[in-house]
Amino acid sequence: MQFFIEVLLGGLLSGVMYSFVALGFVLIYKASGVFNFAQGAMVFAAALTFVGFQEMGLPFPAALLAAFAVMVVLGIVTERVVLRPLVNQPPITLFMATIGLTYVIEGLAQGVWGANVRGLELGIEDVPVQWLMDSTGIGVSTFDLFGAGVAALLVTLLALFFQYTRIGRALRAVADDHQAALSIGIPLQTIWRIVWAVAGFVALVAGLIWGARNGVSFSLTFTALKALPVLILGGFTSIPGAIVGGLIIGSTEKLAEVYLGEYVGGGIDSWFPYVMALAFLLVRPEGLFGEKHIDRV
Amino acid sequence: MSGRKIGDVILDLQNISLRFGGVKALTDISFNVREHEVRAIIGPNGAGKSSMLNVINGVYHPQEGRIVFHGEERRKMEPHKAAKQGIARTFQNIALFKGMSVLDNIMTGRITKMHASFLEQAIHFGRARREELEHRHKVEEVIDFLEIQHIRKTPVGRLPYGLQKRVELARALAAEPTMLLLDEPMAGMNVEEKQDMCRFILDVNDQFGTTIVLIEHDMGVVMDISDRVVVLDYGKKIGDGTPDEVRNNPEVISAYLGVAH
Amino acid sequence: MLYREAGQFKTSYAADQQIFPIRQDRIGILIILAIAFFAVPMLFSEYWLKAILIPFLIFSLAALGLNILTGYAGQLSLGSAAFMAVGAFASYNFMLRVDGMPILLAFIGGGLAAAAVGIAFGLPSLRIKGFYLAVATLAAQFFIVWLLTKVGWFSNYSSSGVITAQDMEILGYRFVTPEAKYLLVLAIVVVLALLAKNMVRSSVGRAWMAVRDMDVAAEVIGIRIMHTKLLAFAVSSFYCGVAGALYAFAYIGTVEPEGFSLDLSFKILFMIIIGGVGSISGAFLGAAFIVLLPIALDVIVQQWLAGVLPPSVSSNLQLIVFGGLIIFFLIVEPHGLARLWQIGKEKLRLWPFPH
Ligand SMILES: Nc1ncnc2c1ncn2[C@@H]1O[C@H](COP(=O)(O)OP(=O)(O)OP(=O)(O)O)[C@@H](O)[C@H]1O
Ligand SMILES: [Mg+2]
């Protein structure tokens, strides 16, 4: 039982990581209707850029700021070069464009910073929390708890941003109705740039935590892809959905690997989230939080 | 009207209710359609007219009610079965296949009548080849009937609105339907195009005996071409009868003048 | 004046419904086929046949398969490579386990196995569309590769699932030289391409496009959506499966499941985006482009940028150029090279009198 709880908690905490990436997807999808396949590549690029700046001798806060600046520039350039010319194209075209963007970002990031695997040090140790270990005998990593804390903080910040700033409110309006948003007086393009910058920030935070956990390498992009099944569970437009979906995927994936994996040869976490999302889709195509929708004709 | 004889009831809708979440699109609606007649559905915006057509050929499934078509009673229709049983339609917002030519769009209308398997089609031999030719002939008849020979090979996306509407009608007619559902076939057309469209609809009804159910906002047109009219308002039926009866129905008048809601 | 339709009046619908209605196109295709079958094997070096032309043909076939599903039937798939893997491993097992199995039959068997798997993973398309479906096809991609790696039976219990394709032999003739392999692949690809062309210009093709363009209207016309979509998945996967079998038997020889990665799936997707979504010739143009591009890039980097750029840049340059081109084509010419080719032909039709 203790072991079960440990696995479950570990899964939940790694699920938080998926939620991070899914969050970036949701932000962009809500504001621009673009399904941004490149979000995973952005996580990788952000982490690599941060490490790269640190290697150049920048102290932590400066490297963080510089990496953030790079992500903002990336967002602005993407809006100008990719999104604006494709406005009003079918969503699937935009989706394919973001697959192209994925390649560009990965190529650029590796071209500039090199392709070798790096470590990323945040100064938090990956050891079990002592008092929890002592009192219950359950091992939970300090680092994972820290990651969950950061996630909670980030979601709170985003919620405040959406609730209390003019731009945040405009973003929410855009999600509901593009025309209405225009009447607020903020150009759609500005909104898109901001939302890509915010998504870039989320990617940076995700990249830092993930990079510190598993190292910064190309495989990060595959892990980040698991945000896709998370989105299927949680729906493309729901922030709580992204969080809950991430937790579900993270925990079931770990439980499945531990309890089923040994019977089938292991490594099932490469596909388990996808198959689970698929099974889920068949039962509830509208997602956990989505509403049933009938095409109007 | 012309000399065609209106027959028995072939479609009977009984106590149809349809909801979308909290929105009641249709509430307890009953009416029938007779063979060979032109039946109009009218009503203000959002009255539920399109929803009604969608119920008839199974695009929407009502929560309550029954549909009797050719004596067969059922809870709901299914679109492709409705097509097989001779119901064809056009849509309020043109629903052509944008990536295909006019000819290919109309050819799709005959799909229920083509039987060659995909393997036969892949080798394009025997039955598949014969069918393509036979049905091309049929389609060319429809093209002649609607006078759209000159745009045969044009991608539909490049056509002006009025012609697109006509191609959509052609696609429906290619199926040789016994019942044709038309959702605002003349919306957005100029007077001349409307006259053409009216003529086509009446010709279809006259020459092929096709039963027609149509939604139209232009009262002049409705009164001119229909045999009977159903009036919907806020998802409820408020009138049913000949154009004259409906025109003099006080409830209908008030709905149209926007009084007393 | 070289390329003119004028004067070629169709006197019957049969003439208008030929596979290539314009005479110059018919002649053009025959010339291309003659060159491909007779001139190419004589003129090109072994390296070109082995490293460029054979993979070009195989990828064209895979792209053709994906184009049937995505370009014609409108169902985006990110799992083409997995269906190729099924084809490769199934053909291998047919050869391995059935005594005296003819190789062509093994390829067909590989295609059919892929088709069956394609139908299974196409089932979700009945309830979901667009991105949701794209993500669902990722399930196929990861699951199939994992399964082929983990279940030893598929690779006859070799380590990490590597298989070595058997020799190809037809009526006692063994296809070992690059010329022979090239001709075999060419023949298969030409036949399958013609079948595909016939399908897309018949009622199945129209049903696929109808479902792609507007599924509600398609259903109202009497098209059975489920049947149509699953058929697209089956036919598409069959093509990918045969391509995968050829990839193993005529190109690489020794393959592992990991070789059919997500990256390969994306490459095939890129081929149809660049070549032309919803076009048979587009599959060939796109495959040629994607096969030749890295080679061209390598040449450029080595010839002109050798001193300037560090060696690691070359592969990343490839990523950037690939991605950039995808975005470029989607923006500038969403119908790809095939459309450019068509526009070129139309210009030629008017030439030398532009009006
Ligand atoms: N697919 C759907 N999902 C949700 N609500 C719908 C759907 N289709 C119709 N409705 C709602 O049902 C009601 C009736 O709509 P319907 O389109 O049938 O009206 P209508 O009489 O055709 O109007 P119009 O003259 O504007 O075409 C409206 O309130 C509409 O918003
Ligand atoms: Mg309507």
Chain segment C121-147, per-residue pLDDT in tens: 998 888 888 888 888 899 999 999 999
The secondary structure element, H or E, covering residue A15 is helix A2-32
| Length of chain B counted residue by residue | 261
Query: What's the domain range around B115?
Result: 95-176
Average pLDDT, chain C: 91
pLDDT band, very low/low/confident/very high, at C301 (cuts 50, 70, 90) = confident
Beta bridge pairs of residue B33 = B11
Per-residue pLDDT, A16: 86
Question: What residues does B64 pair with on adjacent strands?
Answer: B17
Residue B260 has pLDDT above 50, yes or no: no
Min Cα distance B50 → chain C (Å) is 14
Residue B76 DSSP class: -
- B172: nearest CA partner in chain C: C221
Residue A145: pLDDT band with limits 50, 70, 90: confident
Residue pair B15/B29 in contact (Cβ under 8 Å)? The answer is yes
- How much distance in Å is there from the Cα of B237 to the middle of ligand 1? 15
Which has the higher per-residue pLDDT, B259 or A260?
Answer: A260
Closest C-alpha to ligand 1, atom 6: B20
State whether B59 and A291 contact (CB < 8 Å). no
* Residue to substitute from A80, A99, A233, interface C, most C β-carbons within 10 A: A99
pLDDT band with cut points at 50, 70 and 90 for residue A186: confident
Give the CATH number of the domain where residue B230 resides.
3.40.50.300
Residue among C124, C273, C316 minimizing CB distance to A282: C124
Mutation site, B49, B56, B60, interface A, largest A CB count within 10 A = B60
Residue nearest to atom 13 of ligand 1 (CA): B25
Of B227, B159, B226, give the one whose Cα is nearest residue B193. B159
Looking at ligand 1, which residue's alpha carbon is closest to its atom 26? B45
pLDDT at C90: 98
| Token pair listed for C217 | 């209207």
Which of C142, C273, C318 faces A270 most closely, judged by CB atoms? C142
Q: In the structure encoding, which two tokens stand for residue B205, read together?
A: 């009804």
Condensed to tens digits (0 to 9), the pLDDT of residues B132-149 reads 999 999 999 999 999 999
Ligand 1 centre and the CA of B26: distance in Å? 9
CA-nearest residue to C141 within chain A is A271
In this complex, the residue of C139, C273, C325 whose CB is nearest that of residue A96 is C273
DSSP-assigned letters across all residues of C28-94: HHHHHHHIIIIIHHHHS-HHHIIIIIHHHHHHHHHHHHHIIIIIIS----S-HHHHHHHHHHHHHHH
pLDDT digits (tens, 9 = 90+) for B75-129: 999 999 999 999 999 999 999 999 999 999 999 999 999 999 999 999 998 899 9
Q: What is the DSSP letter of B186?
A: T
Statement to judge: residues B39 and B153 lie in one domain = no
C125: closest chain A residue by CA = A282
B68 and B108 in a common domain? no
Q: Would the pLDDT of A292 be above 80? A: no
Side-chain half-sphere CA neighbours of B261 within 13 A:
13
The per-residue pLDDT for range B214-223, each reduced to its tens digit, is 999 888 889 8
Nearest-CA distance from A286 to chain B in Å? 14
List all chains that touch chain A, counting a touch as 3 or more CB pairs closer than 8 Å: B, C
Q: What is the pLDDT of residues A13-40, one digit of tens each?
A: 888 888 888 988 888 888 888 889 999 9
Q: Is residue A128 within 8 Å of residue C350, measured between CB atoms?
A: no
Atom 16 (ligand 1) nearest CA: B48
**Is the confidence at residue C314, as pLDDT, over 80?**
no
Interchain proximity A297–B91, CB inside 8 Å:
yes
Name the residue ranges covered by the structural domains of chain A: 15-227
CB contact under 8 A, A297 and B21: no
Q: What is the mean pLDDT of residues C342-350?
A: 79
CB distance B108–C17 less than 8 Å? no
- Are the CB atoms for B220 and B17 separated by under 8 Å? no
Structure tokens of B143? Answer: 């093209």
Together in a domain, B77 and B104: no
- Residue B254: per-residue pLDDT: 85
For the record, the structure tokens of A85 come out as 């010319």
Tell me the average pLDDT of chain A: 85
pLDDT (mean) for A50-64: 93
| CA–CA gap between residue A183 and residue A192 (Å, rounded) | 16
Whole-number Å distance between alpha carbons of B39 and B30: 14
Please compute the mean of the pLDDT values over residues C283-293 and round it to a whole number: 96
Mutate to test the pocket of ligand 1, among B16, B18, B19, B23 (most ligand atoms within 8 A of CB): B23
Query: Which of residues B143, B176, B209 is at a domain's end?
Result: B176
The pLDDT value recorded for residue C352 is: 65
Last residue of a domain, one of B154, B176, B198: B176
Q: Do B133 and C17 touch (CB under 8 A)?
A: yes
Mutation probe of ligand 1 site: the residue of A286, A293, A295, A296 with most atoms within 8 A of C-beta: A296
Distance B48 CA to ligand 1 centre (A): 6
B176 touches chain C (CB under 8 A): no
Chain C: residue nearest B94 by CA?
A: C217
Residue A176 confidence (pLDDT) above 70: no
A91 contacts on C by Cβ (under 8 Å)? 130-131
Do both B144 and B65 map to the same domain? no
CB contact under 8 A, B54 and A297: yes
What residue's CA is closest to ligand 1, atom 17? B50
Instruction: Decide if B79 and C219 are in contact by the 8 Å CB cutoff.
Output: yes
Domain count, chain B: 2
* Percentage with pLDDT > 70 across chain B: 97
| Chain C residues touching residue B106 (CB < 8 angstroms) | none
Domain match, B121 and B249 both: no
**Nearest chain B CA: its distance from C258 CA (Å):** 33
Chain A nearest-CA residue for B91: A297
Kindly state whether residues B198 and B259 are assigned to the same domain: yes
Spatial distance between the Cα atoms of A138 and A2, rounded to a whole number of angstroms: 6
Tell the residue nearest (CA) to atom 4 of ligand 1: B20
| B80, B95, B97 member nearest C209 (Cβ) | B97
Query: What DSSP designation does C3 have?
Result: S
One domain, residues B212 and B227: yes
Report the chain B residue with the minimal C-alpha distance to residue A291.
B21
Residues B208, B154 share a domain: no
pLDDT tens string C48-94: 999 999 999 999 999 999 999 999 999 999 999 999 999 999 999 99
Which of the residues B55, B81, B97 would you substitute to probe the C interface, choosing the one with the greatest number of C C-beta atoms within 10 Å?
Answer: B97
Residue type, B15: N
CB-side neighbour CA atoms (13 Å) of B116: 25
Q: How far is CA A149 from CA A20, A83, A154, A213, B46, in A?
A: 12, 34, 9, 15, 49
Tens-place pLDDT, residues C143-167: 999 999 999 999 999 887 899 999 9
From residue C254, how far is each of B94, B142, C184, C241 by CA, in Å? 53, 57, 19, 16
* DSSP secondary structure string for all residues of C102-131: -HHHHHHHHHHHHHHHHHHHHGGGGT--HH
Q: Directed axis angle between helix A91-113 and helix A39-55, to 10°?
A: 20
pTM (2 d.p.):
0.93
Partner residue opposite C221 with nearest CB, options B116, B131, B175: B175
Ligand 1: centre distance to CA B255 (Å): 17
Q: Is B95 on the interface with A (CB under 8 A)?
A: yes
Which residues on chain C are in Cβ contact (under 8 Å) with A253? none
> Chains with ≥3 Cβ pairs under 8 A against C?
A, B
pLDDT digits (tens, 9 = 90+) for C247-259: 999 999 999 999 9
Mean local confidence (pLDDT), A181-197: 78
CA–CA separation, C86 and C70 (whole Å): 19
B71 & B186 share domain:
yes
Q: Which residues pair with B101 in a beta bridge?
A: B155
B51 touches chain A (CB under 8 A): no
Instruction: Record the tokens describing residue C51, joined without a space.
Output: 């490293």
pLDDT at position C351:
67
- Average the pLDDT over C237-249 and give the result: 98
Confidence grade of residue B261 (pLDDT, cut at 50, 70, 90): very low
Which residues from chain B sit within 8 angstroms of residue C278, using beta carbons? Answer: 99
The answer to whether A34 and A28 have CB atoms below 8 angstroms apart is yes
For all residues of chain B together, what is the average pLDDT? 92
The residue contributing the CA closest to ligand 1 atom 3 is A294
Same domain as B133, residue B81: no
- Chain centre distance of CA B133: 27
* Per-residue pLDDT band at B194 (split at 50, 70, 90): very high
pLDDT over threshold 90, residue C185: yes
Which amino acid belongs to residue C38? F
Q: Is the pLDDT of residue C342 over 50?
A: yes
Contact between C195 and B136 using a beta-carbon 8 Å cutoff:
no
Give CA–CA dist B176/A167, Å, rounded. Answer: 56
Residue-level pLDDT at C5 = 63
Q: Is the pLDDT of residue C31 over 60?
A: yes
In this structure, the residues whose C-beta lies within 6 A of any atom of ligand 1 are A 294, 296; B 20, 23, 25, 43, 45-51, 92
Q: For an interface test with B, which of C9, C108, C112, C203 has the most B Cβ atoms less than 10 Å from its Cβ?
A: C203
Task: Give the span between the Cα atoms of A172 and A163, in whole angstroms.
Answer: 9
Co-location of B188 and B172 in the same domain: no
* pLDDT recorded at residue A7: 87
Residues A120-145, mean pLDDT to the nearest whole number: 76
Structure-token pair, residue A104: 């560009």
Q: Does B99 touch chain C (CB under 8 A)?
A: yes
Whether residue B61 is found in the same domain as residue B190: yes
Query: Would the ipTM clear 0.85, i.e. be above it?
Result: yes
pLDDT at A150: 86
3-state helix, strand, coil in chain B (%, to 5): 40, 25, 35
| pLDDT surpasses 90 at A88 | no
* CA–CA min distance C100, chain A (Å): 33
pLDDT at C1: 46
